[in-house]
Amino acid sequence: MNPFSYLRPATEKEALAAIAQPDTMVLAGGTSLVDLMRLEVMRPQHVVDITGLALAKIETGSSSITIGALATNSEVAYHPDVVAKLPALADAIRSGASGQIRNMATTSGNLLQRTRCAYFRDTASPCNKRSPGSGCAALEGFTRMNAIVGTSKDCIAAHPSDMCVALVALDASVHVRGASGERTVKVADFHTLPGDHPNVESVLQPGELVISIEVPTTPLAAKSRYVKVRDRASYAFALASAAVALEVQGGPGGTIKAASIALGGVGTKPWREPAVEQALVGKRATQEVFSSAANLALATPDVRPDNAFKVGLAKRIIERALALVAGGSK
C-alpha cells in the first residue's frame, strides 16, 4: 500500500477543508476504498475519514425519506419505513455484498463505489479509468461482466451498484455540499458516461461531500421491486438487474398510470428505460403488455460475444419484475 496521510475531522467544516486538498480520498465505510488501496489501484496521498460526522440519520418526512451519507446499507435496507414505502431500495441493498459488508458499507460509499471490471483492478492491464490514456484492455478481453449500453471507445466497464439502480427508478436526489454551498442532483444525472474521460465517474466536484440522499415516497415508489440475476445466490454482482415501479389503477390487471424502470449490470451507469416506461402507461397490467414493453429495452446495445446474452436476460428480468409488482407477489 502506498504511504498516505490520515485525518479524521470532528466537524463538517474541517472535513470540507481537508477534502479540498489535491489527491485526497474520502473514507466512509472503507469496504471498497481500502481494498483498492491495498491493490494499489487507488493511491491517494491523503485519506479523510468522515465517520466522525453526524451524517447517519434516516428521517421520514411527509413526502420523502432522507438517508444520511453515513447510514449503513443494513440500516437502510431494514429500516421499517424504507421496507414499507421504498421496497425496491430495500430489495436492492439486501441483494448486494454480504451481511458483514452491508453492516459497514455506507450510503455515500455505495453511491461512489468504483467498477468491478477485472481490468480496472489489475494494475498490469491498461485501463483508461485507472490511468487515463493508457487504453482499455477489456475491449479485446473477456467481457462477460462488462457493459453493453453507455459504452465508448475508451471504456466498457459496468457500474457495480444495486442500490443506485433502485434510486434511479425511484427518482431519488443527492444533496451535496462544498465550500460554495449546497446543491442537489438527481441520482439519474449523478453518474457520468465514460465518453473520452472514463476516469470521471460522477458530477461530484473536488472538495464536495455527499450529505444525504432523498427519495420521494410516492404511490409509485410503494409498488416497486428489484430483481437481480447473478452467478451465485449471494455475494455476487449483477449480470443484469431491474428496479421497477408501477402505479396501477383498478387493482391487478388494471390500467397502468405511471411506470419507472432502471437496469443494472448492463450499463456504464444505472440505466433508465424511458421507452419501456412509455409503452406501459395507459395499458392494462397484463403479461402480454409487460412482454411487449420489455422487448423495447436496450434498443442499441454494444455487445461482444461474451456479453451478448445480457440483452435477452435484461428483457426477461424486466418482464419478471413487472409481473411481481403488478401481482403483489413476495
> 76: buried, middle or exposed (CB in 10 Å: 19+, 13-18, 0-12)?
buried
- CATH number of the domain bearing residue 22: 3.30.43.10
Residue 309 within a domain:
yes
Q: Band of the pLDDT at 319, cuts 50, 70, 90?
A: very high
Instruction: Decide if 78 is inside a domain.
Output: no
pLDDT greater than 90 at residue 235: no
CA–CA gap between residue 314 and residue 312 (Å, rounded) = 6
- Considering the domain boundaries, does residue 311 fall inside one? yes
Whether 253 is covered by a domain: the verdict is yes
Question: What pLDDT band is residue 20 in, cutting at 50, 70 and 90?
Answer: very high
Q: What is the pLDDT at residue 251?
A: 81
pLDDT in tens, 164-184: 999 999 999 999 999 999 999
Residue in 98, 88, 82 with CA at minimum distance from that of residue 31: 98
| pLDDT for position 327 | 87
Number of Cβ atoms within 10 Å of the Cβ of 175: 17
We report the CATH number of the domain holding residue 260 as: 3.30.390.50
Query: If DSSP codes are grouped into helix, strand and coil, which group holds residue 5?
Result: strand
Q: Is residue 129 part of a domain?
A: no
Q: Averaged over 198-204, what is the pLDDT?
A: 98
Range of the domain at 10: 1-51
Closest CA to 210 of 103, 322, 110: 110
Q: Does residue 194 lie within any of the structural domains?
A: no
Residue % of the chain over a pLDDT of 90: 95
- What are the strands, taking DSSP E only, across the chain? 5-7, 24-27, 46-49, 58-60, 64-68, 173-178, 181-186, 209-216, 224-229, 240-249, 255-264, 271-272
Condensed to tens digits (0 to 9), the pLDDT of residues 280-295 reads 999 999 999 999 999 9
CA atoms of 3 and 200, how far apart (whole Å): 24
DSSP class of 296: T
For helices 287-294 and 309-327, what crossing angle results, to 10°?
150
Angle at 223 between CA 167 and CA 285, to 5 degrees: 120
Instruction: Name the pLDDT band for 328 (thresholds 50, 70, 90).
Output: low
How many domains does one find in the chain?
A: 2
Question: Residue 330's pLDDT band (boundaries 50, 70, 90)?
Answer: very low
CB neighbours of residue 52 within 10 Å: 13
Taking only the tens place, the pLDDT of each residue in 57-68 is: 999 999 999 999
**According to the model, what pLDDT value does residue 36 have?**
97
pLDDT 10s digits, 32-62: 999 999 999 999 999 999 999 999 999 999 9
**Residue 329 in this model has a pLDDT that exceeds 80:** no
pLDDT tens for 80-119 read 999 999 999 999 999 998 999 999 999 999 999 999 999 9
Confidence (pLDDT) at 296: 98
Q: For the segment 118-159, what is each residue's pLDDT rounded down to a tens digit?
A: 999 999 999 999 999 999 999 999 999 999 999 999 999 999
Half-sphere exposure for 256 (CA within 13 Å, toward CB):
27
Above 80 in pLDDT, residue 9? Answer: yes
The pTM of the whole model exceeds 0.85: yes
Q: Does some domain include residue 214?
A: no
Domain assignment present for residue 203? The answer is no
